A and B are shown apart, each in its own frame.
Chain A
Amino acid sequence: MNKILELSFPLSEKIMTTVRLTAGGVCALCGLDLDTSEDCKVCITESLLLLLHRGYRDARICFSRDERLYIRIGGETPGEETGSAEDEISLALLGALVGDLSIEREGGKLRSIAFSFGKQA
């Protein structure tokens, strides 16, 4: 798998647009159609919101590809967990938009989220 881009940034709602724009650029680079690219951006936003509500102050996104575009989003610098009533919807939305959602937990706490987009193998 070839790494395309890795981003590390302070996690806040203000950074979401920048991350979404970057994700759109990566999707275009990988030849994904606009609809898939939009779905990908929604998944990235939802993942970041989930990590934010788990109290992480920073996040790291790694984009890599072979036949598909793989995205792994991890939380860094743990802080106080706030939680949100919408978290359950975010998780269900992720499950609805990607077929290979993988969630890593550490001591029961959400640590990272990974998924991929592109043609099915």
Chain B
Amino acid sequence: MTERELFAKYRETGDLALRNQIVEKYLYIASILAKKFVGRGVEYDDLYQVASLALIKGVDRFDERKGLQFSTFITPTITGEIKNYFRDRSRLVHLPRRVSELRNSIAAAQEELTKTLGCKPTAAEIAKSLSVTEEEVLSAQEAGGIVSLDRPASDEDGLSYYDVLPAETDAFERFEVHDAVSSALDTLTDKEREMIMYRFREELSQAETARRMGVSQMYISRMERRVLEKLREKLKKSMAE
């Protein structure tokens, strides 16, 4: 059976045995392409697996009536999947690409503006120079980089993030956490609780929260940082008790 006939038959019948046959026939392409990307810190076996999955998806998407050879069609598909894999793997905690790029632009703008202004620029000045909103600048700065689980969570008790980050919890633990959060929230002022409700319950932006509360976005940004710190301290104490 020719390539065209094989794909035409699979498209007509949807026969999985036929799909397996096609995948096996072209698995060598996955192997060749995986080898081309070895040496970037990922084992061949992992790349081969990514490439093979892309091949399976590609077999389903390929339309032989468009006149393209399967190898010409599947090579960019597999290459794209491998590159996506590298990109996703490059951050342990995924930052959206836009945020990542914005963080780089902010660092460059900060350096440039420090030279021209003779002092450190404000978030507003950076935002203006990059033609983005002040909130975008503040959010990107707060996004942070990769943090090791072994890094100390605080300077005092010697606990690492691994020790304090929650694992899967049972119902009783969930109840305890709920109780701890409620009592921590009780220590906040009315305004602080209002801000928390807008930001984390209604998931509003800092700008929208500021608008509703009749204050500036910078004020919300500072308040949020302060309140979260306060809650963190309170929760840490109740966990220790």
Residues of chain A touching chain B, judged by Cβ–Cβ distance below 8 Å, are 35, 38, 42, 45-46, 86, 88-89, 91-93, 95-97
Contacts and interface: CB of A to CB of B under 8 A. Distances in A.
Size category of the binding interface on chain B: 10 to 19
Contacts of B69: 88
19 contacts: A35-B87, A38-B37, A38-B39, A45-B36, A46-B36, A86-B32, A88-B71, A88-B72, A89-B33, A89-B71, A89-B75, A91-B72, A92-B71, A93-B36, A93-B79, A95-B76, A96-B79, A96-B80, A97-B79
Interface of B: 29, 32-33, 36-37, 39-40, 69, 71-72, 75-76, 79-80, 83, 86-87, 90
B32 A92 contact: no
* B32, B79, B87: residue with the most chain A Cβ atoms closer than 10 Å: B79
Contacts of B79: 93, 96-97
A16 to B, nearest CB: 12
A54 B234 CA distance: 72
Contacts of B87: 35
A42 B75 contact: no
B71 A42 contact: no
Nearest to A88: B71
A23 B210 CA distance: 52
A46 B33 CA distance: 11
B36 A92 contact: no
Nearest to A94: B75
B40 A93 contact: no
Contacts of A89: 29, 32-33, 71, 75
B94 to A, nearest CB: 16
* B40, B75, B76: residue with the most chain A Cβ atoms closer than 10 Å: B75
Nearest to B78: A96
Contacts of B76: 92, 95-96
B71 A35 contact: no
A7 B182 CA distance: 70
Given A38-B37, A86-B32, A93-B75, 6 more contacts: A35-B40, A35-B90, A42-B36, A88-B69, A92-B75, A93-B79
A27 B33 CA distance: 22
Nearest to B74: A92
Nearest to A93: B75
Nearest to A86: B32
Given A35-B86, A89-B29, A96 B75 contact: yes
A46 B32 CA distance: 12
Contacts of B32: 86, 89
Contacts of B39: 38
